[in-house]
Amino acid sequence: MLRVHVDERGAVRKTLLVSSSGSAALDGAAARALVAARFVPYREAGAAIPVTTLMPMNVKASAQCRGVSPLDC
């Protein structure tokens, strides 16, 4: 689970690990994937505003990736 701060343009500005998968490599990969993500900006009364939300992430290494860095798979 990651806490994600998204700015008014939909860009991720900060992530914080809330609960771990048990693997530092997978946790890091999930955080890096979100930093590259773009979101539709949240709007209130027609104006885009920054928002912080919780983002559940499901990560699972595939059998073909056994013994390979999660970033290389």
Tokens of residue 58, six digits: 């499901």
Residue identified by tokens 């970033």 is 71
Give the pTM. 0.72
Q: How far is CA 47 from CA 10, 14, 37, 39, in A?
A: 13, 21, 21, 15
Give residue for tokens 């104006």.
Answer: 47
Domain range list for the chain: 2-58
Mean pLDDT of the chain: 85
Stretch 55-60: mean pLDDT, rounded? 79
For 45-70, what is the mean pLDDT?
Answer: 79
